Every structure is written in structure tokens, then in C-alpha cells.
Amino acid sequence: MFSYTLLRVQRMLNYRLLMCFCLALCFQWGTVSVWSDTDVVLNDPFALGLHYMEMEQYEKALAAFDTIRKQEPSSGIYCYIGMVLQEQNRLNEALEAYQNALTFQAPPPIHGSAHLHLGIVYKAQGKLHLSKTHLKEVLVLIPETPEAYIHLGEVYLLQRQLDKAKHAYRQSILLNPNFTESYYGLGRVAEMQNDFISAVNNYRRAIKQNLYDPQPHYRLAIAYRCLQNLEAAEKAMAQFKRMKSYSDNVHRFREAIYKNPNTPILYVKLGQLHEKFDNFADAQRVYQTAMALYPSFLPAYHSLGTVLIHQRALEKATKVYQKITEIEPDNVQAWLKLGVIHINRKQFERAVEAFKQAIAADNTSAEAYNNLARVYAGLGTETKQAIALAENAVALSPIPKHYDTLAYAYYRNKQYSEALVAINRALTLAPSVEAYENLRAKTQEKLKENKSELQKKK
């Protein structure tokens, strides 16, 4: 398992995905794989290794890549082996793998990847001269590599060569302005040069790139204190403590997952932690990982569906809930979610069918009756059936929103007296709800109009 301390020293992980992409372009093995959600092409060890890396199942990834190494050793496969070992914090073995990668002929991006990782590992081990040598070699082989400049900047920072560090970080920003580490590094340089205004500006840029990294918040608080801005310092320190707690808890969950690989609920709890801090992108990735590893574990699907709805990714959410109904056809909550999604996508016939399936799955589901009644009443095509369905919902669960639906169904069927009774009941249970008050006002207006019409006829 990767080391949290190592992650702190490296201060970034994006390099791995970028280098994997770079290597994948240059290195091929076996047949081209076509992936569909959670399916793995079992006869392709390279694709299998990539899949296991993405799932953070590093022993399996290592076994897959080692199968290739034994049959056809190459620079590329040694790079992948090194990356897996590095994620497991087996740094000396990773160094050996990267060094082996350099003994084979390969395109510049592959050797550049090996040098980059050698630079990172040597930096983590405090061997700064060796780190600097390899990072400079990256820039010879593939000059437009912002990650090399970022790590080189950190080496210079550790060696107190501040002007060189500043130059390296600025070069990384010119190549890619989206790395948190570049701005954090510039902030550290400015702070060490007692330029606290520049430090504040750079730490704030780092936080803008990645709100969840605790370290820029901490340094920002220190810089504000040096500027005697104690109120801002206090706020930054409070945010640091919040993000530090979040980061530590994420680490604990990831360690627990590694030690308890057959406990899928840990993925859900980790995802919920991400959601608590509004980190929906990481929550989504965690749930998708759980689904890939445990295809029949429904809580992961439900959690992912909730995140996708929050993000208004309704088409993707639809697919998730449909998958749940394939795994468990009588899952009433999945049918209810599908119905609501279809309404939001204005797919009313599909919404009707989903709510009918929910009732078939559980004929005691008040929500299913209520939602179907609401659709029928809104469409105005089956208003009498809407009334019957709403009455069932009220009988099963006499709560305000169900009385509101019953009132609406009566209203749409032009039974205004009955509608007024129902909406008054809703307001008794939940006073001052604006939507209920609006429906009551509209109903009372219709009753007045009807009374006026009757008087005219007389």
C-alpha cells in the first residue's frame, strides 16, 4: 500500500496517470482491449494490469505486469512495475525497476518516464543530487513536462537555491497552469524570501486549484500571521484543521480498505466522507471502484446514483439505477429514483412505467403511489386514477406532501371542494408551506368562480 508520508513528500499524484497515458501510447502488448464499465479482458495482461492499478489492487497489477516481463521484458513494462512498487512504498525495488527500464531501447517518453520516477523516488529518499540529475534528464528527453519542473523546483527549494526553484515552478506553470504544487512551491519560495504578500497570493492560487490539500491552508495562515492579519490567519488555520482532519480520515479509510479487501462497505463510507466535504469527483471515483470490484454490491450503485443526480448527470444516473433493477428487479428505491429522473428529463411515459414497477415491487410503498398519482394528475389524462392512487398514499402515510398530491389530483379533476379539504389538511400538518398555500388560493379562486357561475345561471 502506498505510504501517506510518501504522498506528502511527493505532493502530487497526477504524474502517474499522465505517465501511464504517455507509456500506453508507446508501449503495446497483446490485443487492443475494449472496456465496458466493469468488464476486464482477462486474456490481456497489460489491460488487466492497468485495470488493477486503477482499482489500487497493486499485488494483482504487479502479477499481471510481471507476466509480460517474463515473456517479453522491455523498458515500458519495467516502468509499470516500478510504478506499482512505488505505490506500495517499496522504493528500493521501484528504483531497481526504473533503472532496468533504462537498459532497454525505448522511445524518449518511456525513458523520460523512468527518469521522472527515479527523480521522485530519490527525492523522497533525500538523495537530492541524484534526484536532480534524473529530473534534468527528463527535460532533455521530453522538454515540455511540467511535472519534472515541479519536482526539480522542490529539489532546489530543499537545497535553498530559491531563484532556481522559482524559475522551475514558473516554467511548470507556463506548460500547465493547473497544478496546485506549482503555486504552493512559489508560495514557499516567496515565504522563505520574506515576501509574504506574494506568498499569500500563491497559496491562495494553490487552494483555488485544490481546496482539499491541507498544506497550502497551513502556510497561508503562517503568511497572514507574518503580515499581522490575524483574522485572516485564524480563518486559514481553521480551514487547515478541517482539511487536515478530512485528509487524515481519507488515509485511514484507504488503509482500512487495503487491510480488509473484502469489505465493500468501506468504499461507501469513504465515498460518504468525500461527499461530506463536497468532493463529489472523488466520491464518484470511489463508488465506481467499488462497483468494478463488487458488481453485485448495491449500496455502491445507490451512492453513485445520488452523486450523479446531485451533479445533474441524469443520463448517467439513469444507467446506474437501471443496472440496479437488472441485478435486483424488485428494488423499489431504484424504480422510484428512475421515475423521478424520468420526470426531470420530461420522459413521462417512462416515469409512469417506473412508478408502476415500484408499486409491483412493493404495494405498501406510499411514495410510489404518490409519485404515480402526481404524474397522472400533472398530465391531466388519468385524473380519477390519480385520485385513487393519492388516496392510497395518504392511507399508507398521511403526511403533508401526500395530502398535497391528493389535493392536486382533486383540483385537476375539478373537484375543488374535496381539493380544499385535502390541502387544508396538508397545511394543518405543515403550516406556511408556500406551495400548499398557493394551491389553496387557486382552489378557493375556482370555488368562487363556480359559485359566481351558479348565481348567474339563477
Domain boundaries, the chain: 4-177, 364-458
pLDDT score, position 7: 33
CATH superfamily, domain at 4-177: Tetratricopeptide repeat domain (1.25.40.10)
> Cα separation of 188 and 123, whole Å?
17
Decide if 206 contacts 183 (C-beta within 8 A): yes
Quote the distance between the C-alpha of residue 317 and its chain's center.
Answer: 14
Domains 4-177 and 364-458 share a fold: yes
**At 111, which amino acid appears?**
H
CA 249 to chain centre: 16
CATH number assigned to the domain covering 364-458: 1.25.40.10
For cell 527535460, the residue is 139
Q: What pLDDT is attached to residue 42?
A: 57
Q: Give residue 261's pLDDT.
A: 81
Find all residues with CB under 8 Å of 126, minimum gap 6, and list them. none
Structure confidence at residue 29 (pLDDT)? 39
Question: Quick check: 203 and 216 in contact, CB under 8 A?
Answer: yes
How far apart are alpha carbons 339 and 238 in whole angstroms? 42
Q: How many residues does the chain have?
A: 458
**Vertex 14, ends 38 and 73: CA angle to 5°?**
70
Q: What are phi and psi of 347, to 5 degrees?
A: -105, 75
Distances (CA, A) of 226 to 221, 229, 284, 342: 9, 8, 39, 55
The neighbour count for residue 259, using CB atoms within 10 Å, is 10
Residue in 31, 18, 51 with CA at minimum distance from that of residue 175: 18
One digit per residue, the tens of pLDDT, for the chain of length 458 reads 333 223 333 333 344 444 444 454 344 433 333 333 344 455 688 999 998 998 888 999 999 999 999 999 999 999 999 999 999 999 999 999 999 999 999 999 999 999 999 999 999 999 999 999 999 999 999 999 999 999 999 999 999 999 999 999 999 999 999 999 999 999 999 999 999 999 999 999 999 999 999 999 999 999 999 999 999 999 999 999 999 999 999 999 999 998 888 899 999 999 999 999 999 999 999 999 999 999 999 999 999 999 999 999 999 999 999 999 999 999 999 999 999 999 999 999 999 999 999 999 999 999 999 999 999 999 998 999 999 999 999 999 999 999 999 999 999 999 999 999 999 999 999 998 999 999 999 999 999 988 887 777 65
| Interior/surface letters 123-148, b for 16+ CB within 10 angstroms, e for the rest | bbeeebebbbebbebbbebbeebbbb
The pTM for the full model equals: 0.82
The per-residue pLDDT for 22 is: 47
What SS3 class is residue 104?
A: coil
Mutual angle of helices 180-192 and 214-226, in 10-degree steps: 30
Q: Report how far residue 10's alpha carbon sits from residue 135's, in angstroms, rounded to the nearest whole number.
A: 14
